[in-house]
């Protein structure tokens, strides 16, 4: 079980790296001047590659998380809240894919300021999940 836990933690860390960085690329994309085609294409290429890289990491983190869940059992209110927060992260990841498509199609209407706030959501969820897992408050 410890090997599974180590794999799960490593995959979660790698997935979070993508969840932290992809919205930062969105900030930069939202700031690209309309006449800077090369910069926009470079950022879109980076964002697309990152999204394709982080998606399997997230899936594997979930697989190992479910494996641990079935191994240890699903008890305690803290675990229910953690599971809800993980579901929120999955939705955030999916939304990042939709936002990427809006940039690729040229239909994004959100500002770089909006993306700066959007970028902070996974940080807050990470803090909450870590405290729940370590403290198991309820």
pLDDT tens for each residue of 86-117: 999 999 999 999 999 999 999 999 999 999 99
Distance between CA 106 and CA 15 in Å, rounded? 26
122, 16 in Cβ contact below 8 A? yes
Tell me the pLDDT of the chain averaged across its residues.
96
Is the pLDDT reported for residue 70 higher than 90?
no
Is the pLDDT reported for residue 49 higher than 80?
yes
Candidates 28, 23, 45; CA nearest to 104 is 45
Is the pLDDT reported for residue 120 higher than 90?
yes
Residue 1 or residue 82, greater confidence? 82
Write phi, then psi, for 115 (nearest 5 degrees): -70, -30
Is the pLDDT reported for residue 14 higher than 90?
yes
Q: Write out the two tokens for 2.
A: 């410890």
Q: Quick one: pLDDT at residue 36?
A: 97
Indicate the pLDDT class of residue 1, thresholds 50, 70 and 90: confident
Distance between CA 82 and CA 128 in Å, rounded? 8
**Positive or negative, the Cα torsion across 84, 87, 93, 99?**
negative
Q: Quick one: pLDDT at residue 112?
A: 98
For 63, counting Cβ atoms within 10 Å of its Cβ (0-12 exposed, 13-18 middle, 19+ buried), the class is middle
């Amino acid at each position: 079980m410890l090997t599974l836990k180590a794999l799960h933690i490593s995959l979660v860390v790698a997935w979070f790296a993508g969840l932290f960085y992809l919205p930062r690329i969105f900030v930069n994309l939202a700031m690209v001047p309309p006449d800077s085609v090369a910069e926009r294409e470079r950022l879109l290429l980076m964002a697309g590659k990152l999204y394709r890289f982080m998606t399997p990491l997230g899936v594997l983190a979930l697989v190992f998380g479910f494996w641990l869940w079935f191994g240890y059992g699903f008890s305690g209110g803290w675990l229910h809240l953690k599971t809800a927060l993980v579901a929120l992260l999955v939705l955030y990841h999916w939304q990042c894919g939709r936002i990427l498509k809006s940039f690729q199609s040229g239909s994004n209407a959100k500002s770089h300021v909006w993306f700066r706030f959007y970028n902070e959501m996974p940080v807050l969820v990470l803090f909450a999940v870590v405290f729940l897992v370590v403290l198991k408050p309820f």
